[in-house]
Amino acid sequence: MLKSLRSRAASWGLKIVLGLIVVAFAFWGTGRISSKRETVVAEVGKLSISVYEFDRSLREVLEGLEKLKGKPLSKEEVKALGVPSQVLTGLVERKLLLQEAEAWGLRPSEEELRQKISSFTAFQRQGRFEKELYFAFLRQKGMTPQEFERRLAEDLLALKVQQTLTSMPFFGLKEAEQMALTLSEGLVFEGVLVKAEPIMGSISPSNEELFKYYRDHQGEFKTPERVKVVYTYLKPEDFLEEVKVTEAELLDYYKTHFDQFQKPKTVRLAHIFLKDQKKAKEVLERLGRGEDFAALAKEFSEDPFTKQKGGDLGYISVNELKPDLVELLSQMKVGEVTEYKAEDGYHIVKLLEERPPVPIPFEQVKDYLRKVVSFERAKELCALRAADLAHKARKEGGLEAYARKAQIKLFWPRPFSRLEAVEGIGMAPKFSEVAFSLSIGEISKPVEEGGVFFVIQCLEKVPPSVPPFEEVKEKVRERLRALRAKEVARSRAQAVLMAWREGKLEETLREFGLKVETVGPIPRREVAYFWSKEVALLSENKPFLETPLETKEGFLVLRLKEVKQLPSGDPKGMKEALESLWGAQLLQTWLNWQIEKANVKFNQKLLEAYGVVLEQPKTSGNRPQPGKD
């Protein structure tokens, strides 16, 4: 039973992960545009969501979930999780936050952008920011620093609005203490889980029933639109030998990108680490009275590695420090002391010394520069050759005709849909978007994806279709058996609930071969978050839910057995947790109101290709709501 309940929690976890991945990847790049009508999936006030932005975000989410799961998600799993709708909702909400930031006149500072970029672990080596990794990442994504920083600025603006809307206090400490006692109550449940899977073996629908279900639910078996292409590609690495770079060019690059070739600013710090805030305040007061920092560090610091050195941390690059600490240090003078709250406790920090950024001599980075500049030149040459190849292929009447003449290799992947990996390439959002935008026979301009330049020709558009009954008969059988097993499980669970209430549980358990399991105590707050508020509100006077609880495996009949008082924890921590949850609810309410006000318009035809079914409003007007897949 506990495993079944945890599966409900896992679905919440996936939703949280989806939100995080969408925020992290919503700002990657823009795509090829043929017309607004064809390439915009939604209009949010003055802003729009391009099909490339949506497609790229969706693919990044799916890749992230595949990494978590360890294998690709099936079409049924994607549909069950509602991934496309959640991605669309996340992008709409992001646009609303950006519009609000513009209305407030918000602008991120250059220092904020610099600190944010430096904090990405993808750009760090052994905890230190490396510009080489940063620019390698940009080359891989096909982005310029300006484009990346512009989209990162949007990310920061959206976050600022979100934090402003949710940062106000809602609860006093006394209220939080009372709520902490209630939410920390441990609930002990008895439960009977009626699984659907064991019931499936006893269900054998007839051919007539199968065909009727197929006829009435053809949309469930419809294959998505696919495209058939032929392509070739060129790699910058293949042109390196043709590139000759002079020392003058290297020096020019060095001067133009001088800020990339400096050792970052370093600071020498000392700290006194304490887990208790009260003790930290006492030490700060003693420092304020003029007592020696090193002596107090040796006496009170709980950091065993620096305690005997008077708290001395030595010289540290600012790129190794957290952005909020860097901001704090930037306001201090050498010799000053401040308090810094971290996740592990309280640090009383003293700024001992500062060293400004140091330029790295040209001779030390010349070999690296040669590699960078050579690759850039090779990439430029590769792009030109790819464009020339596309032009000549058009003149010859197609890629195949030109390939025979020029002796180049072509590739014919299987037809693919918008959500499928391309055979021989993998998940390739730019490639797919361009492939679907081409008319039959049309040859694309060079498409850069993953550092490679592709030239694509569209051979055929395969429209959505419903396969013949015989082709999907077994899939229909499994679908119908699963649905009927679920209904039988629901009926049995309802019978168990009624028998339990009437004191006749044992007889019903024997009839269906079920058993009662006990789980808990589980804090009421966790029950509310991971299961449902209805379960969390069960009491000794009302121990049963009105209906069985649906889970991934079937249906669960719950009875609250007892309530135990668990440690309530720190009221201040509970206050912060409650305000965080309340703030999230407030933000969602604000976003829902903004969606209504903005009159968001969706491109239904495009979204249906991704499996997003829009709820049509009952009133007149074109304002469908995303939410059901």
Judged against a pLDDT cut of 60, whether residue 44 lies above it is answered with: yes
Distance between CA 74 and CA 66 in Å, rounded?
10
pLDDT bin (cut points 50, 70, 90) of residue 23 is very low
Q: Supply angle C-alpha 430, 436, 439, rounded to 5.
A: 130
Q: Where are the domains of the chain?
A: 10-174+573-628, 185-221+471-565, 226-255+362-462, 265-356
Distance between CA 578 and CA 173 in Å, rounded?
11
Question: What six digits make up the tokens of 109?
Answer: 């500072």
Judged against a pLDDT cut of 70, whether residue 177 lies above it is answered with: no
pLDDT digits (tens, 9 = 90+) for 404-417: 999 999 999 999 98
pLDDT at 613: 60
Distance between CA 628 and CA 79 in Å, rounded?
9
Higher pLDDT, 412 or 147: 412
Model confidence, pTM = 0.53
CATH topology classification for 226-255+362-462 = Chitinase A; domain 3 (3.10.50)
Least confident of 86-100, 378-392, 430-444, 540-554: 86-100
Judged against a pLDDT cut of 60, whether residue 171 lies above it is answered with: no
**DSSP labels, 533-587:** HHHHT--SSS-B-SSPEE-SSEEEEEEEEEEEEPP---HHHHHHHHHHHHHHHHH
Question: What six digits make up the tokens of 581?
Answer: 């949850």
pLDDT bin (cut points 50, 70, 90) of residue 179 is low
Least Cα distance to 227 among 612, 613, 609, 616 occurs for 609
Strands of the sheet containing 337-342, edge to edge, are: 312-317, 266-274, 345-355, 337-342
Question: What six digits make up the tokens of 322?
Answer: 């957290």
Higher pLDDT, 255 or 227: 227
Neighbours of 83 (CB within 10 A): 25
Strands annotated E in 76-218: 124-125, 128-129, 185-195
Distance between CA 22 and CA 155 in Å, rounded?
11
Higher pLDDT, 37 or 41: 41
Least Cα distance to 73 among 451, 480, 629 occurs for 629
Judged against a pLDDT cut of 50, whether residue 604 lies above it is answered with: yes
List residues bridging with 125 in a β-sheet: 128
Burial class (CB in 10 A: 0-12, 13-18, 19+), 26: buried
Q: What is the CA radius of gyration of the chain?
A: 31
Indicate the CATH number for domain 265-356. 3.10.50.40
Distance between CA 599 and CA 623 in Å, rounded?
6
User: Three-class SS of residue 12?
Assistant: helix
Q: Quick one: average pLDDT of 441-461?
A: 92
pLDDT bin (cut points 50, 70, 90) of residue 141 is low
Return the biggest CA–CA distance within the chain: 92
Question: What six digits make up the tokens of 337?
Answer: 């002391």
Judged against a pLDDT cut of 50, whether residue 7 lies above it is answered with: no
Judged against a pLDDT cut of 50, whether residue 442 lies above it is answered with: yes
Q: Supply angle C-alpha 366, 370, 374, rounded to 5.
A: 165
pLDDT bin (cut points 50, 70, 90) of residue 427 is confident
* Under 8 Å between Cβ of 314 and 262: no
The dihedral over CA atoms of 259, 262, 263, 269, expressed in degrees to the nearest 10, equals -50
Spacing of C-alpha 495 from chain mean position:
42
Question: What six digits make up the tokens of 536?
Answer: 């969390």
pLDDT at 393: 94
pLDDT at 583: 67
pLDDT at 60: 75
Q: Quick one: average pLDDT of 461-483?
A: 89
Q: Quick one: average pLDDT of 326-347?
A: 84
pLDDT digits (tens, 9 = 90+) for 557-592: 888 888 877 665 555 555 565 666 666 667 777 777
Judged against a pLDDT cut of 70, whether residue 555 lies above it is answered with: yes
- The Cα-based distances of 374 to 61, 138, 238, 242, 451 in angstroms read 34, 16, 12, 10, 15
Least Cα distance to 25 among 111, 186, 141 occurs for 141
pLDDT digits (tens, 9 = 90+) for 609-626: 666 665 543 333 333 343
Neighbours of 255 (CB within 10 A): 10
Q: What percent of the chain clears pLDDT 70, i.e. is strictly above it?
A: 79
Question: What six digits make up the tokens of 61?
Answer: 């989410």
* Under 8 Å between Cβ of 229 and 414: no
Which CATH architecture fits 10-174+573-628? Orthogonal Bundle (1.10)
Distance between CA 531 and CA 7 in Å, rounded?
10
Higher pLDDT, 570 or 50: 50
Do 226-255+362-462 and 265-356 share a fold? yes
Q: Which helix (H) or strand (E) holds 389?
A: helix 362-396
Least confident of 96-110, 195-209, 335-349, 576-590: 576-590
Higher pLDDT, 47 or 387: 387
pLDDT at 440: 93
Higher pLDDT, 191 or 164: 191
Give the number of C-alpha atoms closer than 13 A to the C-alpha of residue 6, restricted to the C-beta side: 5
Q: What is the average pLDDT score of the chain?
A: 78
Judged against a pLDDT cut of 90, whether residue 401 lies above it is answered with: yes
Least confident of 82-91, 196-205, 286-295, 450-459: 82-91
pLDDT at 574: 56
Sorted by sequence, the CB contacts under 8 Å of residue 222 that are 6+ apart come out as 464, 465, 466
pLDDT at 459: 95
pLDDT at 572: 59
pLDDT bin (cut points 50, 70, 90) of residue 20 is very low
User: Three-class SS of residue 322?
Assistant: coil
Q: Quick one: average pLDDT of 432-438?
A: 90
pLDDT at 2: 31
Higher pLDDT, 516 or 600: 516
* Under 8 Å between Cβ of 129 and 319: yes
Q: Give the residue carrying structure tokens 């464009």.
A: 387
- For the ranges 104-108, 371-375, 563-567, 601-605, the maximum mean pLDDT occurs at 371-375
pLDDT digits (tens, 9 = 90+) for 493-548: 999 999 888 888 888 888 888 888 888 788 777 777 777 778 878 888 888 888 89
